[in-house]
Structure 1
Amino acid sequence: MAEVPFTLLMPVYRGDDPVHFARAFTSTVIDQRVRPSQVVLVQDGPVGDELAAAIHDAIAQSPVPVTFEAIEHNVGLARALTRGLALSEHDIVARMDADDVSLSERFARQLPLVVDGADLVGTGMLEFLDDDGSVVGRRVPRTAHDDIVAYSRFHDPFSHPTVMYRRSAVERAGGYEPMGLMEDYWLFARMIHSGASVANLADPLVMYRVGAGAYARRGGRAQWRSELALQKALRGIGFTTRAQYLRNVAVRGVYRFVPERIRTVMYRRWIAGGEA
């Protein structure tokens, strides 16, 4: 599959750790058995000197061409990714965050599925701790198209740092749109709604960094406002039924406001474990 060109799209902003960024870039570009043909690196607003140096070093050491775009002011993830897609030279695009780690077989495993006709392909993930790299969890996604579609009415069926998609399918669904903290789920739902062919690989091909307070940040009023806006939007386009909307608002409302210890258990069961 080395002859099939694709773009890696990676956003970076001032909150990213330079060391984590360097590892993410190396794992997803240099260490891949099948490397991307182009890297699009979008810097969303000003960054500190250390992160700027890490970005400079990554570009200088990259074995593949890097298209670098520095946006003057922070515009948010959706707009940064939209700019990155516009700079992508290829229809097939892989996403990556600046603090996670891709396993070396990731693209070699995903690319054939896209070449065979899938519009959106994700993978499983391992969760690891910041401090010592210990694996503390595993996300196993639904893999069959129909199972993914059914599950998507209640939960995001994809782990966003793992996905590879066709830019044309993203554009057909309307592209990235601001949606609080739920931009990725909102895009994936609209892609499914527009008829995209979707798949997941169950194997964990990305390691997702879980820092201190990760589960605390999944709760609170800001998360709930984003959740409610998303659920209203999903209902508004007819992606969910009224019963599904009410179920989601009730269940996910509880999830956002329970104590962190209980939220962690709920997350493990419903999100990471793939339970509906």
Structure 2
Amino acid sequence: MELSVVTAVYNGKAHLEEAIHSVLNQTFHDFEYIIVNDGSNDQTKEILDGVNDPRVKVIHLEKNKGAANALNTGIHEANGEWIALQDADDVSMKQRLQRQLTYIKSHPEFAAVGSLIQCIPGDEMVDPNFLEMESYFFNAKDPGQFRNEQFYSTPICHGTGLFSKRAFQNVGGYDPAFKIAYDYDLWSRMFGEGEIGRIPEVLYQYRVRTHSLAHTNRIETTCEILLSTFKSIAKVKFDHLNRIPKLLLLGSQKEIAFYKEKISPRNHYLQMLFLEQKLSDMKKAYSLYRFNKIDGIVLASNPQIDRIFRFFVGKGLSFGNQIFKVWIPDDFS
């Protein structure tokens, strides 16, 4: 089997049939489609049990354990060399699988490939300008910067992903500890297996739901992204140390306060020291690095970052090796 498509769904009755239909009516037909019902308590089970297509395999989980766990379950059962994702409330264009599979097979340097997206509304009314802005968020990203932004942003929309199953297994799959940022966490580790690219064509319709966790719980979303970032930095850049890395965060008073209150109790991946963004503190941070008291420096992405970044580059440090940037809100009241 060359290709497996995998969907995880929890209480997805509203748009599940449309999502399934978009997969089963692809121009490329030779695939299996694994759908994992993550303990839904609406009519999701009845919808899935009514699907009559020999390519479809349905797995019903008794308890809801989150999308990461459900996706791991589905991909573990998959027979395909390549895995294509399909989120349960989105729509794949008819030529999506054919285009992406052809592309990644002809570009062996890639571990995963996505596509451009078109944002569409869910059940509630959504301002068209907001939909356009959400589309722009993913589509405007420069693929040439994907690797440079490995620890800072999501390279591709999750549901557009098509990747090597071997690469997925090599990086350990999804981390079930993350309920929101599981895709961000996966892509940051997937760079260890190859490049992540994007076909410059709209092949996927992403349904914007203003009541989703990512939209309604901004603080927890930010926390998961930061924790994933620190986990990936520790694993990808400092695993050779055979100890917990020690980094120093340079930020404003508010950014440092956010970290200490929201992140510090949960950050088991790094030891973190703190300094503000004054020149004297920047010099102190460099001195700590030079004398091996810290392993790297984290810069909070704010209006001061370019000035601070130039200071450390001038000292011979490089982005993504000794210097990392993260986004930390300075207002979390």
Where on the TM-score scale, by shorter chain, does this alignment land: which range?
Answer: 0.7 to 0.9
Match of 1:8 in 2: 5
Post-superposition Cα deviations, 1:133-155, rounded to whole Å, max 9, x if no partner, equal 986322315464x5321132321
Q: Is 1:101 aligned with 2:91?
A: yes
| 1:34 paired residue number | 28
Instruction: Determine helix, strand or coil for the equivalent of 2:198.
Output: strand
Q: State the alpha-carbon separation in 2 of the partners of residues 90 and 41 from structure 1.
A: 14
Query: Given that residues 11 and 41 in structure 1 are in contact (C-alpha distance below 8 angstroms), is that contact kept between their aligned partners in structure 2?
Result: yes
Partner residue of 2:44?
51
1:44-66 deviation per Cα after TM superposition (whole angstroms, max 9, x unaligned): 11432x22222122x21x3x421
| Cα drift, residue 211 of structure 1 | 2.4
Does 2:300 align with 1:246?
A: yes
Which range is displaced more, 166-175 or 229-238?
229-238
Give the aligned partner of residue 162 of structure 1.
Answer: 160
Quote the Cα distance in structure 2 between the aligned partners of 1:66 and 1:256.
Answer: 47
Specify the alignment match of 2:256 in structure 1: none
**Among candidates 219, 222, 225, match of residue 221 of structure 1:** 219
Structure 1 residues 87, 80: closer, same or farther in 2, change over 3 A? same
Counterpart residue type for residue 80 of structure 2: H
Q: Distance in 2 between matches of 1:134 and 1:246?
A: 31
The answer to whether the Cα contact below 8 Å between 1:124 and 1:140 also exists between their aligned partners in 2 is yes
In the alignment of these two chains, the number of paired residues is 246
Q: Kindly report which structure 2 residues correspond to 1:113-262, keeping only aligned pairs within 5 A, or say none.
A: 113-116=103-106, 117=108, 118-131=110-123, 136-137=131-132, 138=135, 139-140=138-139, 142=141, 144=143, 146-178=144-176, 179-192=178-191, 194-213=192-211, 217=215, 219-238=217-236, 242-243=296-297, 246-247=300-301, 252-254=327-329, 257=332
Gapped runs of 5+ residues in structure 1? 259-276
Higher relative contact order (CA 8 A, sep 6+): 1
Asked whether the 8 Å contact 1:141–1:202 carries over to 2, the reply is: no
Q: Which has the larger radius of gyration?
A: 2
Alignment partners' CA distance in 1, 2:195 and 2:57: 29
Aligned CA distance change for structure 1 residues 54 and 211 (closer, same or farther; 3 Å): same
Task: Determine the C-alpha separation between the residues in 2 that align with 1:115 and 1:228.
Answer: 33
- CA spacing shift, 1:151–1:19, aligned 2, 3 Å: same
Q: Structure 1 residue 233: deviation in Å?
A: 1.1
Q: 1:67 aligns with which of 38, 57, 61?
A: 57
Query: What letter is aligned with 1:70?
Result: H
| CA shift in 2, pair 1:206/1:174, >3 Å | same
| Corresponding residue number in structure 1 for 2:261 | none
Give the match's secondary structure for 2:204.
Answer: strand
Give SS of 1:157's match: coil
SS at match of 1:119: strand
Once the two structures are TM-superposed, the CA of residue 216 in structure 1 deviates from its matched residue by: 7.5
TM-superposed deviation, 1:5: 2.5
CA contact (8 A) 1:130 1:210 kept: yes
The 8 Å contact of residues 214 and 221 in structure 2, kept in 1 or not, is answered as no
d(CA) in 1 for partners of 2:55, 2:182:
28
SS at match of 1:39: strand
Whole-angstrom distance in 2 between the partners of 1:13 and 1:229: 24
Residues 1:23 and 2:18 aligned together? yes
Give 1:221 shift. Answer: 2.9
CA contact (8 A) 1:121 1:201 kept: yes
Residue by residue over 1:1-57, the C-alpha shift from the partner in whole angstroms, topping out at 9 and shown as x without a partner, is xxx73011011112x2x240000000122x211135101111111432x22222122
The 1:69–1:160 alpha-carbon spacing in structure 2 relative to 1, beyond 3 Å, is same
**1:257 Cα deviation from its structure 2 partner:** 4.4
User: Once the two structures are aligned, what percentage of the paired residues are identical?
Assistant: 22
Q: Deviations over 1:59-81 (max 9, x none)?
A: 21x3x421211111112111111
Gaps of at least 5 residues in structure 2 are 239-246, 248-295, 303-323
Cα pair distance change 1:40/1:143, threshold 3 Å: farther
CA gap 1:36/1:22 in 2 versus in 1, 3 angstroms = farther
2 CA distance for matches of 1:185 and 1:140?
16
Q: Is contact 1:219-1:257 (8 Å) kept?
A: no
Residue type at the aligned position of 1:231: T
